Amino acid sequence: MPEKELYVDVDSSEAEFNRFVRVFSDDRVLPNRGHLITIVGDSGCGKTSLAHRCASWLHRDQGLPRKGRNAIIVDLHDEDVGDASEERFRLIYSLLVMKLNVEANLAEYWEELNGYTDPRLGYSRLSDLLAERPVAVVILPPTKVTGEIHMYYKIAQNRENIIFLAESGSGEVQREWETVIPVSAVHTSLKLGLLDNGDAWKFVQARMDRSKSSQIPLSITQVELDDMLQKIDSLRNMKALQILFFECYREAVRSGLKVITYEYVERFYMRNSALNLKDLRR
């Protein structure tokens, strides 16, 4: 499936992705230059999807290969690295080295790279080793921790061949990022918001088109969906809508329902809102 078909243009995600593309398409941006891409927004608004889309673009022909460099995506998003900034910094470096050991053919440097007690020195050596290898595009684990982003910003400023993608839904972390790391030649800041009127319609229609269970007609209008979002603020993010309609359709299939109406979705939400909201806000 083409990359664009995997995403839906809602809550400014397409606009922010296009802004990212413009930055890296600029011929003045060298393919070996270190870079930090930060993505902020509320829980469930699509930060992780945007991070993976940006990484995929860098990896594909229109990204870094167009400028003569290949890329390796190192996805650390789901790694458990704790909540202490210095410990996270060390663990992320160790995990990165472990993955690049295989993917970038760094086996002969394994002991050397793991021998650095200060990851900053390790990143310096790693940057040199990657000069003749693909650029490392590193998707960092999401963070709620203050005090760590400046370390990746410094690496991006002073080292080459490593691009970091960082995301956070924490208001405190977002405020710190805006203060500590200015937008610059080595930092691109992307921001996502809540769903606006019309966004829910586009998102639900796109998901239903791809769903095997969508043979059950969805008898809901855009006006009704917009009205639901106005009344239930917690549904104004993609994750909430995805869970709601996935579970709603699953129940409809089990029940042998012939058509899904607005009233059915609303009643389903009211019966299950406590469980859904608990899961969404974890």
Residue where the block lists tokens 């405190």: 172
**The pairing of beta strand 71-75 with beta strand 187-191:** unpaired
Residue where the block lists tokens 């974890």: 282
Task: Of 62-76, 108-122, 211-225, 244-258, give the lowest mean pLDDT range.
Answer: 211-225
Residue 2 pLDDT greater than 50, yes or no: no
Task: Of 50-54, 143-147, 217-221, give the lowest mean pLDDT range.
Answer: 217-221
Helix, coil or strand: residue 26: coil
Q: Report the C-alpha gap between 140 and 180 in whole angstroms.
A: 18
pLDDT at 281: 38
Q: Report the C-alpha gap between 114 and 223 in whole angstroms.
A: 57
Question: Averaged over 144-148, what is the pLDDT?
Answer: 92
Could you report the per-residue pLDDT of 173-209, keeping only the tens digit for each? 999 999 889 999 999 999 998 777 777 787 777 766 6
Cα–Cα distances in angstroms (integers) from residue 38 to residues 53, 86, 121, in the given order = 13, 19, 23
Buried b or exposed e, range 50-70, using 16+ CB within 10 angstroms: bbbbbbebbbeeebbeeeebe
Domain locations in the chain as residue ranges: 3-191, 199-280
Residue 221 pLDDT greater than 80, yes or no: yes
Question: Averaged over 101-111, what is the pLDDT?
Answer: 92
pLDDT at 212: 54
Phi, psi of 162 (to 5 degrees): -135, 125
Could you report the per-residue pLDDT of 269-278, keeping only the tens digit for each? 888 876 544 4
Q: Are 232 and 270 in contact (CB under 8 A)?
A: no
| CATH superfamily of domain region 3-191 | P-loop containing nucleotide triphosphate hydrolases (3.40.50.300)
